[in-house]
Structure 1
Amino acid sequence: MTVTRTRRDRRGRGIRGLKYPPFHPSYRTRKELFDEAVVTYVARLEMTWGRELRGTEFAVEEVPPSDPSPWERGGITLGRYFPAVSGQASRIVIYRRPVEARAEGREELAAIIRDVIVDNIAFMLSKAPHEIDGDYQS
């Protein structure tokens, strides 16, 4: 009598492991997709505004700190601009969770990311958001 081993576990639920292989597009997490959308848009802006954005850092954080900045009024902020101080580069931070909570799909998520970045760059450069990107939608 020979016992044949199958690739199933003893309760017949199938193979345990990854649902998708690491090279498959579905393998990426929401965080990775969000980071990729930010990097893609910033790279697009740097083609036009590269000289003005030189030295500016872009970052993604999960949620904003619980204490709002003095100039922020009510509501949850989607992003912040931190000016250069004592040798540190200026920084624009986008908060992933509040942005994702407002988006209903990937296209809307990309539009919100674009608007948050454009708002902060416009504030940093003292320009109107429509000068930075004509697709801006307040």
Structure 2
Amino acid sequence: MENRRARPSRRRDRRGRGMRGPGVVPRQPGRPELPTRRERFDDLALAIVTSVDRRWQDRLGLVEYAVEDAPQIPDDWETDQVPLSSLVRGSGARPTRLVLFRRPIEHRAETRADLEALLLTVVVEQVAELLGIDPDEVDPRYEGEA
């Protein structure tokens, strides 16, 4: 019987690790062609915040909106839930600050539609808290808990 050595197969996906390079070659070196997950979240949050802020701008006053990856939770945190946002009321020359926490919000959303609905819910509820009105009045797209 002839002793044959098996030739190694020439596969691009060695050891099942997936693609080795970018799926799309960028036009601008060093800059991804497709938006990152963070950029998509920021764009969606900006669209929602802009529409709500534009409607209530005269009653809200100066509000800073921000997105952070995750909240810094103290060691003595009493609840099992991670906050989705933070609202710090301004005083004097210091503006009110509404911070959305990207990772906890993304973690609770399965689809882009879920993410958009959750972001809208968080922003509307915080603005309603700030204005002292019902969330249903802030935005007609808001669907409260049934």
TM norm structure 2: 0.73
SS at match of 1:84: coil
2:127 to 116, 121, 125: 121
Q: In structure 2, how many angstroms separate the alpha carbons of the residues matched to 1:73 and 1:134? A: 31
Q: Which residue of 2 aligns with 1:42?
A: 49
Give me the identity figure in percent.
31
Gaps of 5+ in 1: 1-10
Residue of structure 2 equivalent to 1:97:
103
**Paired position in structure 1 for 2:117:** 111
User: 1:94, CA displacement in angstroms?
Assistant: 0.5
Distance 1:16 1:130 in 2: 47
The alpha-carbon distance between structure 1 residues 81 and 22, as it changes in their structure 2 partners (threshold 3 A), is farther
Once superposed, which parts of structure 1, at least 4 consecutive aligned residues long, lie more than 3 Å away? 15-18
Can you give the 5+ residue segments of structure 2 that lack an aligned partner in the other structure? 1-9, 13-19
Residue 57 in 1 paired to residue 64 in 2?
A: yes
The superposition leaves residues 16-52 of structure 1 with CA deviations (integer Å, 9 ceiling, x where unpaired) of 66724358x9610110000000110111113311212
Equivalents in 1 of 2:37, 2:21: separation in Å?
Answer: 23
Q: Is 1:28 equivalent to 2:35 in the alignment? A: yes
Q: Cα offset for 1:67?
A: 2.5
Residue 88 of structure 1 pairs with residue 94 of structure 2 = yes
Query: Quick one: distance in 2 between partners of 1:87 and 1:17?
Result: 47
How big is the alpha-carbon RMSD for the aligned residues of Structure 1 and Structure 2? Answer: 3.0
- In structure 2, C-alpha distance between the alignment counterparts of 1:22 and 1:92, rounded to whole Å: 36
Letter in 2 for 1:114: L
Q: Give the alignment's TM-score, normalised by structure 1.
A: 0.76
Larger Rg belongs to: 2
Does the CA contact (< 8 Å) of 1:20 and 1:27 recur in 2?
Answer: no
